[in-house]
Structure 1
């Protein structure tokens, strides 16, 4: 049974009409200084009939709007956490509040590199979440805390992607709460999980929220360990292990710029869409990710593939290079002193472990054809094929499309990026003919800009770092939104390449 369910069953602090309890009230209850001394924290001294469980037998009824608390102001100022912490310091530990903790592995593992958005109504809750975010178990996660509860969350995500997890505090019940949750659902990404911190132990409310897709419902009083365990259970469930979405980038032939597209798209995904990602440079002999991100790590992907059985979370953290707060790089050895001949299952083992680290894993595949490349390509969640507008690219891209679509009939067709379009004096196959041959419109058409791309490569920079207003930077942001299914700013059509963005 989860902690939230135990709390719903055992917590006698609150009834259906009580507001949030302050920290001082919680302490008095724990010390037994209550007006009603017959009921203990875990039912000690209670009558044979459990009044809370009797309430569970009744049909859930939404209260009238007049009974609901006034909606909180949107985005008020953050509280003085130092003052709140003094109150929280007197609170008991998680074991004192929730009983003896089950012997599980959830608190032995760090939560993956996810993004968490917290919207609180009370300063005590905001301080508790901040304390939780500083715990070692959430060290990889990015936690943003705002005041304002549900209304602030709805306002915030009208124009941007939602994080992997939303933790929202709301003292509302009934129709008003459900109406706001429906409004939130309208702006949420499909893969976002939602945890509600509520005000009442109401089994009917709990069941109704679960029906509506809420991942968990918890009520005060709680401690950082309780919140961390709740998050861990959502992302570390052994029966439903967390796995980031894999996006494979491959070129139709050598020299078409697939690595450039992969690296810049990953940058746009992390810096533009504010989501964590790991970039794996799988071109072990000639990979350029280290150069493009101006990194020279001592340990590389080759070390992991040499002994994949030893690759645990601790070792993986040492092998990954942090390029930014959100982007980690698993670079290629880029040397010719070894053959780097590994079996497909060794690549698969390493990839499976990396996918537990972040919501997105981008795979920069080499232009070679081998069993492990085929397996990696066909097992990816999304495939991006980079081409140039010539006959060889068209033929090879058609072969790739036929293979991928026949092997994955229930998945999306690969995305196509036409790179270096409009090169002077070079005969080119029109974009329209490319689209007809492949059966899909290109996701992106990048114009031939040797100065911009050459300077970025020589400087070890991404296109957006060098010129954030360029058409190419805008295009990579658009592509990142397409392959992740997350919100990207709507593209502006302009200039000679007005069809920069395809379907």
Structure 2
């Protein structure tokens, strides 16, 4: 631990700031005194900025860290939960410094809301001090301030739309939402049609591009900026399209992480990425849902949609406990002669926030 490290000024709030940046491949070890603190650190790895970070938690606080590093190499960052009595904290940090590499950084978590203690820790060389109780996002914000390079590419926000049942209208709402965002904000939006055999984004935007998402996933090459620019089609002002091939000349079986690198490159290219996710359930769909920022479940107000939406919502929440919970759009309400569940009751039953209700338009 270098005692002349410049302190990191973490933003201690729960929101991910616009233009957030991916962290590099670093190792982090957290030494905690309480299970709640360990849980907070473990939840931090679900943050999209931590995709390349290896984080482990250990018991014992600073004493556990000192004992560990007597015989083991130190990681890039050590997170220490301080005891409630901080009278010997600086002395303990001095002992920790004796067994740490000079380049290792330290973040201290503690319950004392004491500006004098904070200043002393920063003068000593601690990178940041976070007051407990805190949140996983606050911890990630602090880590990002320390390690994310100013030259790192900003992360675009990803919004995934998935239908609770075939024909519920998830694709149509995804495409219209992308259009609305582009027109309201004048930001570039990329629509990624992930329904490779049956996707309709090309039709809805009146485009028939010669290349698209199929070329990226089947090409066998690493997708870089040049390749992505070649595959994207300009659908309108501020609207770009990564279209599905929409053909049945092959089967579309993918590994769990088949789309991971493509989505990451899209995030580096566009400030907003709208993912039109097909109504299917397999490893790559689950992985995609677990990794994106916001998920919108689109459902019609009937019993089958209610069952499926409930299953989707519960599974998504369990997959991504530190991320935003899925939202709900009720589509095609008011179909004549069809028994319906009221939108508010539907949302309450699946424990999701209702963000929109769209009436049936014959």
> In which range does the TM-score fall when normalised by the shorter chain?
0.5 to 0.7
In the alignment, is residue 337 of structure 1 matched against residue 249 of structure 2?
Answer: yes
Query: Residue 410 of structure 1: SS of its match in structure 2?
Result: coil
- Count of aligned pairs between the two proteins: 216
In the alignment, is residue 413 of structure 1 matched against residue 320 of structure 2?
Answer: no
**Contact 1:302-1:340 within 8 A present in 2 as well:** no
Range with bigger deviation, 426-435 or 361-370:
426-435
2:302 paired residue number: 390
1:51-62 correspondence runs (5 A): none
1:233 paired residue number: none
2:207 paired residue number: 295
**Contact 1:301-1:330 within 8 A present in 2 as well:** yes
CA offsets 1:94-115 (integer angstroms, 9 cap, x no match): xxxxxxxxxxxxxxxxxx9xxx
Give me the whole-angstrom Cα distance separating, in 1, the residues matched to 2:149 and 2:272: 18
Query: Residue 297 of structure 2: SS of its match in structure 1?
Result: strand
Change (3 A) 1:249 1:308: farther
Query: Residue 323 of structure 1: SS of its match in structure 2?
Result: strand
**Contact 2:170-2:298 within 8 A present in 1 as well:** yes
> How much does 1:238 deviate?
7.3
The answer for unaligned runs of 5 or more in structure 2 is 1-18, 20-147
Query: Residue 257 of structure 2: SS of its match in structure 1?
Result: helix
> How much does 1:351 deviate?
1.0
1:277 paired residue number: 189
In the alignment, is residue 440 of structure 1 matched against residue 352 of structure 2?
Answer: yes
**Contact 2:296-2:327 within 8 A present in 1 as well:** yes
Query: Residue 443 of structure 1: SS of its match in structure 2?
Result: strand
In the alignment, is residue 354 of structure 1 matched against residue 300 of structure 2?
Answer: no
2:168 paired residue number: 256
Larger strand proportion of the pair: 2
Change (3 A) 1:308 1:274: farther
Instruction: State the TM-score, normalized to the length of structure 2.
Output: 0.57
- Counterpart of 1:246 (choices 158, 172, 187) is 158
**Contact 1:308-1:346 within 8 A present in 2 as well:** no
Change (3 A) 1:341 1:427: same
In the alignment, is residue 305 of structure 1 matched against residue 217 of structure 2?
Answer: yes
Give me the whole-angstrom Cα distance separating, in 1, the residues matched to 2:271 and 2:344: 35
> How much does 1:312 deviate?
1.8
2:59 paired residue number: none
Query: Residue 269 of structure 2: SS of its match in structure 1?
Result: coil
Give me the whole-angstrom Cα distance separating, in 1, the residues matched to 2:235 and 2:294: 23
Give me the whole-angstrom Cα distance separating, in 1, the residues matched to 2:352 and 2:257: 32
> How much does 1:340 deviate?
2.2
Give me the whole-angstrom Cα distance separating, in 1, the residues matched to 2:214 and 2:172: 21
CA offsets 1:303-361 (integer angstroms, 9 cap, x no match): 11012534221121111001123111000000000112222222111111111111111
**Contact 2:189-2:270 within 8 A present in 1 as well:** yes
Query: Residue 294 of structure 1: SS of its match in structure 2?
Result: coil
- Rg larger for: 1
1:57-68 correspondence runs (5 A): none
In the alignment, is residue 286 of structure 1 matched against residue 186 of structure 2?
Answer: no
1:404 paired residue number: 316
1:326 paired residue number: 238
Give me the whole-angstrom Cα distance separating, in 2, the residues matched to 1:383 and 1:348: 16
Give me the whole-angstrom Cα distance separating, in 1, the residues matched to 2:184 and 2:204: 18
1:95 paired residue number: none
Larger helix proportion of the pair: 1
CA offsets 1:73-119 (integer angstroms, 9 cap, x no match): xxxxxxxxxxxxxxxxxxxxxxxxxxxxxxxxxxxxxxx9xxxxxxx
**Contact 1:308-1:349 within 8 A present in 2 as well:** no
Query: Residue 314 of structure 1: SS of its match in structure 2?
Result: helix
**Contact 1:301-1:333 within 8 A present in 2 as well:** yes
Instruction: State the TM-score, normalized to the length of structure 1.
Output: 0.42
Give me the whole-angstrom Cα distance separating, in 1, the residues matched to 2:304 and 2:220: 37
**Contact 1:388-1:420 within 8 A present in 2 as well:** yes
**Contact 2:313-2:352 within 8 A present in 1 as well:** no
